[in-house]
Every structure is written in structure tokens, then in C-alpha cells.
């Protein structure tokens, strides 16, 4: 199976979760954030996010000093779980666009209930929040997309 990562960006963090191994990497300093953002766009497998078009890709552009998200050249296949889960829950009717659903935590709760897994040790509060977002995004991807790749 192709390698897959889930990612989430904050104002001062780039977080990446390797979906296969469960290994979480956090990039905090300016140099580390450049490394993390570069890792995301150069990753050749499945790249998984939640609502990246609205926040994460513009933030990657800031970090990498790229003019616009349209100029980002992803090497892998991007899956935005906000769009995918919204299309599943509220499919388009009569050719109209889909409803953009609630945020990540609410979407995760709808499908899985509460988050019941402990984060990796040695993370501060901000990193735990970022890890949780990566983890929830990865779980949504595994539920709705991973099996399609195995078929």
C-alpha cells in the first residue's frame, strides 16, 4: 500500500502523522516549519488534511514564501476530509454544490464518538492539540478512503 500522511498546521506549528506507523513529527521553529511544509508538498503518497484549502495551504504558502496555493505543486494525491465527509453526509442534490459540514472535532465525533487514545509522550499542550487534529484526520481518511485504495 502507498505511504500516507495526515497533516495540520497552526500559527507556529506544522504537524505530520505517518498514518502507517503512527509516528508524529512536529515542526516548531521557523527552519523546522520550512522543513515540515516542504515534506508535505514533496510527499509522493497520500496527503490527507481537513479543510486545507481554507487554512493549511495558505499557511504553507506563507512558510515557503509561495505567492498562492494554486502555485503549490503537490507530489502526492491530496485528500481533503472536510470535502469528502461533507459530500458523504450531504450529497449534492439537483446539481447544486455540497454542504460544507462542521469542523474536524464535530465530524470526528459524528463518526467515532469521543477521542479515546492518548497522545505520544513529551508533547506540550499546543502539540497535543495539533497531534489530535492529525490523528482525527487520519482516522476519517482510514474510514472513508483507505479501503478504496485497497480494492
pLDDT tens digits for 38-60? Answer: 999 999 999 999 999 899 999 99
pLDDT tier at 115, thresholds 50, 70, 90? confident
Is the pLDDT at 13 greater than 80? The verdict is yes
Tell me: pLDDT of 62 over 90.
yes
Confidence band for 102, pLDDT divided at 50, 70 and 90: confident
Work out how many domains the chain is built from and give that number.
1
Range of the domain at 109: 4-150
CATH number, domain with residue 108: 3.30.420.10
> 151 burial class (0-12, 13-18, 19+ CB within 10 angstroms)?
exposed
pTM above 0.85, yes or no: yes
Amino acid at each position: 500500500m502507498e505511504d500516507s500522511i495526515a497533516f495540520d498546521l497552526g500559527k507556529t506549528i506544522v504537524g505530520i502523522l505517518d498514518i502507517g506507523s503512527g509516528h508524529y513529527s512536529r515542526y516548531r521553529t521557523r527552519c523546522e516549519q520550512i522543513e515540515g511544509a516542504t515534506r508535505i508538498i514533496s510527499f509522493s503518497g497520500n496527503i490527507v488534511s481537513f479543510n486545507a484549502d481554507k487554512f493549511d495551504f495558505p499557511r504553507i504558502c506563507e512558510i515557503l514564501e509561495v505567492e498562492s496555493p494554486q502555485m503549490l505543486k503537490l507530489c502526492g494525491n491530496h485528500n481533503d476530509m472536510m470535502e469528502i465527509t461533507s459530500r458523504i453526509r450531504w450529497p449534492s442534490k439537483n446539481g447544486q454544490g455540497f454542504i460544507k459540514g462542521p469542523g474536524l472535532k464535530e465530524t470526528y465525533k459524528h463518526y467515532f464518538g469521543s477521542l479515546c487514545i492518548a497522545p505520544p509522550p513529551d508533547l506540550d499542550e499546543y502539540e497535543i492539540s495539533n497531534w489530535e487534529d492529525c490523528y482525527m484526520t487520519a482516522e476519517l481518511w482510514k474510514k472513508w478512503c483507505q479501503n478504496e485504495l485497497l480494492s
